[in-house]
Structure 1
């Protein structure tokens, strides 16, 4: 029989795996890592993705999930049960806030939101049942940068775990676990996969016991990622390091253009010296600041819509981090569920536009933005 030894892992598009007899079944339950039984419990493709991201993050174990939201859900449940309390950075993805407010609250897990300026003074927010702080490496949508080493030390001094959404940075720029975080998670849909053709997540733990708990949550709640999505994500991951360099290079060029344009009131990009956490962003990101930025036009809906209609290289597509550039509108998409008061407090106004800068030739992106803004 011909030996098959592929360089690339095949797609194991199978929901179930065969056993020869009861002895093999007993072997499986004696060591569930010895083979595969059922794809909800584990699949070679989803395990390959989880381990690849785990290695990049320097973790003790990881689980691949069906979306970034599933990754956040698993991370919170790894530490919390009914009656527990969570702290969450106020500068957070709107979907994360919606999960905490609408669903985890129904499970008896309460949340307090902490303004960015008070993340390193959590004492006033801690309750006897507080278990963790959820924060982002680079916040969505205003690109504030958390000092993860300082934040981890502060959390641990208070007996809290630090859970970090590392999606905007990717493990190429920042490795939260090496800076002291307890869990690092990603919407793999974004930079890790990178081609806008996958919906997936990964949650990585610094501790092996927590990693085992994450695996259990994934199995029991059915958060498992499909083989095909896993295979595509692994393929995308292979070019992550190259892509992040181009994303960062292009985003800096775009930010500089926007900073000098009279139609733009403000630019939020950590790579600009004017950014409040610029030095931290460079240190924590190894000199790169990623491909995400936001900017403010006039607080006039028609001004924003006109810009969207004129742009050809930045289509309005409410996601991010693909190789092709796109734009999003936080007020109407990612942070739509927040109250008007919350939106205002976070600086999410009518004129705020978020760009996901891709890896196209920079001069083409700059020319497109210039003509879209010159009205």
Structure 2
């Protein structure tokens, strides 16, 4: 009896069997025709990679064990010992820690480029062995929006590759390949999986050659994602468009409430007309602005942040983002903790900065909770 499941089963196996040596030779002679060992490939991780490739409009991808593994794979696709990386100063703290603390041990150096110079003054930071520019579509945590086409033009003029972390925007809002990117990576843990129950990453390549290189890196470094996590992530992807619509709608309402509240000193959200990149975000994000909102309390102190956290009931303190349930994070104490106080101040990550991951709950409930938490003394 033949079985034709609508949903791909979970291939929870580390190894696959061969009938004879002829079948083994077919595995090596016809790549992709069979499976040997799940570190090399598994139907579930391949399904996730194919799904993210399709969403981003790329040529191929590798699914990895985390977003950090995805960043590592992206850098290693283009760099070796002695090479140099340019990285946006406004970037996830884990990314900068990987570059500064670990890849430096492998002989790969990094320079950080202020946001204003990413598209207008990149040659000032380049070196003879600079290989790539790494940036985020929407930066973490201050939600600056980079002009991807201008960044791609600036990088390519110097012979560099553009690697874009598209985690905050997702391909629902922005597809960086359409703006000239060479690699696009995601922390699948966040919006793509969407339910705070998966740890995963993915890197998508614009060309088949880069896709093959990524797969080799994933296999040889052991970055490959497990079957169960892959299956869960694929399940989450099925509702990505619906979830992003709700995330964006609720985040817009939250940002507009925060702007009006006297306890809030500054709000960072691309959907607000006063945001410096509002018009760019509207075009590049197809009229939507994402589910992340950051704000600085008027009382720019840790004590004020703690009072707000204790008072809020619908935004628990959880140092991650993008689940269906709302949460908040404290960048100075979590994602950007490894930076010095001077570096945080330079980036605008002050004591009173709070980052909200706005979920898909009824907006009225979220707004009521924020109002009472901000009113609390």
Provide TM-score, normalisation by structure 2: 0.99
Alignment match, 1:272: 272
Mapping for residues 256-267 of structure 1, pairs under 5 Å: 256-267=256-267
Give, in angstroms, the shift of residue 373 of structure 1: 0.4
Alignment match, 1:63: 62
In angstroms, what is the RMSD of aligned CA positions?
Answer: 0.5
Q: Deviations over 1:7-36 (max 9, x none)?
A: 000000000001000000011111231110
Asked if residue 199 in structure 1 is aligned to residue 206 in structure 2, the reply is: no
Q: 2:264 is paired with a residue of what secondary structure?
A: coil
Q: Deviations over 1:108-140 (max 9, x none)?
A: 000000000110110111111000000000000
Q: 2:13 is paired with a residue of what secondary structure?
A: coil
Q: 1:251 is paired with a residue of what secondary structure?
A: helix
Q: Deviations over 1:275-334 (max 9, x none)?
A: 000011111111111100100012221111010001000000000000000000000000
Asked if residue 26 in structure 1 is aligned to residue 25 in structure 2, the reply is: yes
Stretches of structure 1 lacking an aligned partner (at least 5 in a row): none
Asked if residue 144 in structure 1 is aligned to residue 144 in structure 2, the reply is: yes
Alignment match, 1:186: 186
Alignment match, 2:16: 17
Mapping for residues 1-375 of structure 1, pairs under 5 Å: 2-120=1-119, 121-297=121-297, 298-375=299-376
Q: 1:331 is paired with a residue of what secondary structure?
A: helix
Give, in angstroms, the shift of residue 232 of structure 1: 0.3
Provide TM-score, normalisation by structure 1: 0.99
Runs of 4+ in 1 over 4 A off after TM superposition: none
Q: 2:331 is paired with a residue of what secondary structure?
A: coil
Supply the distance in 1 between the matched residues of 2:80 and 2:54 (Cα, whole angstroms). 29
Stretches of structure 2 lacking an aligned partner (at least 5 in a row): none
Supply the distance in 2 between the matched residues of 1:294 and 1:16 (Cα, whole angstroms). 45
Deviating more after overlay: 253-262 vs 31-40 = 31-40
Supply the distance in 2 between the matched residues of 1:123 and 1:32 (Cα, whole angstroms). 41
Q: Deviations over 1:250-280 (max 9, x none)?
A: 0000000000000000000000001000011
**Number of paired residues?**
374
